[in-house]
Amino acid sequence: MMNSSLVMYDEDYRKLLAIIQRLAQDATAKGVFLVDTNGQMVAEAGEMQGVDTTSLASLTAGNIAASSGLAKIIGEEEFPTHFHQGQRDNLFITLVASRIILVVVFDERSSLGLVRLRVKKAGVQIAQVFEEIRKKAEREQASGGGSPFSEITDDDIDNLFSE
């Protein structure tokens, strides 16, 4: 279980960033965020400067986890899409490949229909990138190592905590 750490290299990140930047443009969205189901922010695009993305990621993951729990209670596997309508801004949240959460923030310049359409296409592309990441992780595990942490010493760790 613990070995299933998510390891993302620069090339994977660039691919994901390109996909969500295109999505932000095509869906006329204010912001697009990719969040790991454990609450880590993976990538963000759009015009939403200054948003507390760490909190956004943690709350999104909590939200998805809670609704997934609700789904199971009533006999559903998952609620893969969520829509929150606000006075000005709206949220469209999709679970991609059961592993990653795509969050789109949009206002009156866009519409739910357009966002839904564009998210569908982007979701497939994002799932492909995560499949590549998964395969890469498997290969690396098989070949043993590659992590920067194989080289760290006790001193490195202790230094982190020196006052």
Partner 1 sequence: MSFINYSAREINCKIVYYGPGLCGKTTNLQFIYNRTNPEVKGKMISLATETERTLFFDFLPLALGEIRGFKTRFHLYTVPGQVFYDASRKLILKGVDGVVFVADSQVERMEANLESMDNLRVNLGEQGYDLDQIPFVVQYNKRDVPNAAPVEELRKLLNPTSSSPDFEACATKGTGVFETLKSTAKMILKDLRSMSR
CA distance 92 to 73: 23
CB of 41 to partner 1, least distance (A): 9
CB of 23 to partner 1, least distance (A): 19
Q: What angle do CA 137, 156, 144 make, to 5 degrees?
A: 25
- Alpha-carbon distances, residue 44 vs 93, 140, 141 (angstroms): 14, 27, 28
Q: Hey, which residues between 31 and 50 contact partner 1 (CB under 8 A)? A: 36-40, 42
Q: Hey, which residues between 66 and 95 contact partner 1 (CB under 8 A)? A: 66, 69
Selected range binding partner 1 among 22-30, 56-64, 108-116, 125-133, rule: CB under 8 A: 56-64
- Alpha-carbon distances, residue 107 vs 11, 26, 44, 113, 152 (angstroms): 31, 14, 17, 13, 47
**Residues forming the site for partner 1 (CB under 8 A):** 1-10, 12-14, 36-40, 42, 52, 54-55, 58-59, 62, 65-66, 69, 145-152, 154, 156-161
